[in-house]
Amino acid sequence: MHICNNSYHVIWSSQKSTRRVLSVAGFCLLFFLACLVSSFAIPQSAFAKTSRIKDIVDIEGVRENQLIGYGLVVGLNGTGDGLNNSPFTEQSLIAMLERLGVNVRGQNLNTGNVAAVMVTSTLPPFTNQGSRIDVNISALGDASSLQGGTLLVTPLIAADGEVYAVAQGEVNIAGYSVEGDAASEVQNIPTAGRIPSGGIVEREIDFQLEELQQVRLSLRNPDFTTSRRIAQAINGFTNSNLAKAENSASVVLRRPADYDGTIVDLITDVEQLPIQPDQPARVIISERSGVIVMGADVRVSSVAIAQGNLTLRINETAQVSQANPFADKGETVTVPRTNVSANSDEDVKLAMLETGVTLQELVTGLNQLGVKPRDVITILQAIKAAGALQAEIEVM
């Protein structure tokens, strides 16, 4: 029997001594353990950038559906809608009482314990009839708080106008509102709440995924490189040409004719495959909040940056001029006193950024200049205008 390795060649024979056999076997065991330990010693950073296919794509047809409804919340402690200011609340209350056999038309209703609300929810894919879903409640009128209220039976409709769920239950809010004669306090948003498992699904969405012969994998962050890597990983795993990158946002997965399972089984087999997503160099800027988010692949060509401000400060100190005591006549007047000063930041620094500067080096250089976030926005836009920023700037 021949056992070959990269650096040795051992022949087992019945004529060799038992010690020779044991020494070779021990060496092979040590070599195997060393290889095993080295395989576990791979740095975790090698896998840090990979993501599962199921985490970066959506399956065509597997989607949520938005539901909406209009209802009434009752049982409020005087914090409901004012019927004079919210006529829709009064009309809804009258219509509800008439359906229950109570005729109040023409009567002067003056209750503050009812509030008109909008009810929203999300119907998950493949939800069965009779399942429960969470619903969100938001006041529609001038109610000050929904605390302690109960939502009455409210049909929830989808975009096609059909009722898919019915909601009812006690409203849970994460805030409060208290008010006195001289002070008031409000925490969070007391006019919005939630009813956990407050909706019952009445109709299922007819979609038979297992009967499809192919599906489309939609990338959540479209990218040509990522799309191609997904197709290559699936084809390499199945050892057949089942996936094809259709464009930057879609990968078509085809079920082969000789496959024993359904398309659901095929999706289950490939959704755990690791992929290293690629992304374009992009800088996201929010002008309103001053937030800046830069991708790891952002690069800057050679550019010099200087940042300085001209500050003008004007102080008004009014003085009062009065006549001397016991003077025959005089007039008290206000004499303005104005003090103007200017600060041109004479110690302005100039920083030089070399070609291929990384994100960390760019941020470090700007911090060394003492640049504030809103000034960074202006600097980045100026660098982009100069053609030195190798990234796309997106202003939110």
Buried b (16+ CB within 10 A) or exposed e, 159-178: eeeeebbbbbbebebeeebe
CB 171 within 8 A of CB 195: yes
What digits encode the pLDDT tens for the residues 273-291? 999 998 888 888 877 777 7
With 0-12 / 13-18 / 19 or more C-beta atoms within 10 angstroms meaning exposed / middle / buried, residue 133 is: buried
With 0-12 / 13-18 / 19 or more C-beta atoms within 10 angstroms meaning exposed / middle / buried, residue 284 is: middle
Question: Do strands 392-395 and 282-285 pair parallel, antiparallel, or not at all (unpaired)?
Answer: parallel
Q: Which uninterrupted H or E stretch holds 95?
A: helix 87-99
- Determine the pLDDT at residue 163: 96
- Determine the pLDDT at residue 303: 67
Alpha-carbon distances of 60 from 65, 102, 122, 207, 267, rounded to whole Å: 14, 49, 18, 11, 12
- Determine the pLDDT at residue 12: 35
pTM recorded for the entire structure: 0.64
- Determine the pLDDT at residue 15: 40
Alpha-carbon distances of 280 from 303, 348, 392, rounded to whole Å: 22, 34, 8
- Determine the pLDDT at residue 209: 86
Q: Which residues, in sequence order, are bridge partners of residue 156?
A: 165
Query: Can you say whether the dihedral through the CA atoms of 269, 272, 273, 275 is positive or negative?
Result: positive
Question: How far is residue 145's CA from residue 178's CA, in Å, rounded to a whole number?
Answer: 9
Biggest alpha carbon–alpha carbon distance for the chain = 140
- Determine the pLDDT at residue 174: 80
CB 127 within 8 A of CB 97: no
- Joined together, the tokens standing for residue 223 give 């990218």
CB 166 within 8 A of CB 200: yes
- Determine the pLDDT at residue 317: 63
- Determine the pLDDT at residue 373: 72
**Residue boundaries of the structural domains of the chain:** 2-31, 65-177+185-201, 209-275, 281-309+348-396
Other C-beta atoms lying within 10 Å of the C-beta of residue 362: 22
- Determine the pLDDT at residue 296: 73
DSSP for 292-328, written as a single string: EEE-TT-EE-SEEEE----EEEEEE--EEE-PPTT-S
CB 252 within 8 A of CB 244: yes
Task: Reduce the DSSP state of residue 45 to 3 states and report it.
Answer: helix
Buried b (16+ CB within 10 A) or exposed e, 77-98: eebbbebeebeebbebbbebee
- Determine the pLDDT at residue 280: 81
Amino acid at 55: D
CB 64 within 8 A of CB 120: no
What digits encode the pLDDT tens for the residues 287-316? 777 777 877 777 777 766 666 654 545 455
Q: Which residues, in sequence order, are bridge partners of residue 282?
A: 392
Residue 247 CB contacts under 8 Å (≥ 6 apart), including other chains: 222, 224, 227
Question: Do strands 214-219 and 192-201 pair parallel, antiparallel, or not at all (unpaired)?
Answer: unpaired
Task: Reduce the DSSP state of residue 347 to 3 states and report it.
Answer: coil
- Determine the pLDDT at residue 381: 80
With 0-12 / 13-18 / 19 or more C-beta atoms within 10 angstroms meaning exposed / middle / buried, residue 395 is: exposed
- Joined together, the tokens standing for residue 383 give 């660098």
CB 209 within 8 A of CB 61: yes
CB 115 within 8 A of CB 149: yes
Rg (CA), the chain: 36
Tell me the mean pLDDT per 10 residues along the chain, length 396.
38 39 43 42 50 92 92 92 88 90 83 93 93 95 91 95 96 76 74 94 89 91 93 92 93 89 89 89 79 77 62 56 67 65 53 58 68 75 79 80
CB 53 within 8 A of CB 217: yes
What digits encode the pLDDT tens for the residues 233-259? 999 998 889 999 999 999 999 998 888
CB 276 within 8 A of CB 269: no
Amino acid at 40: F
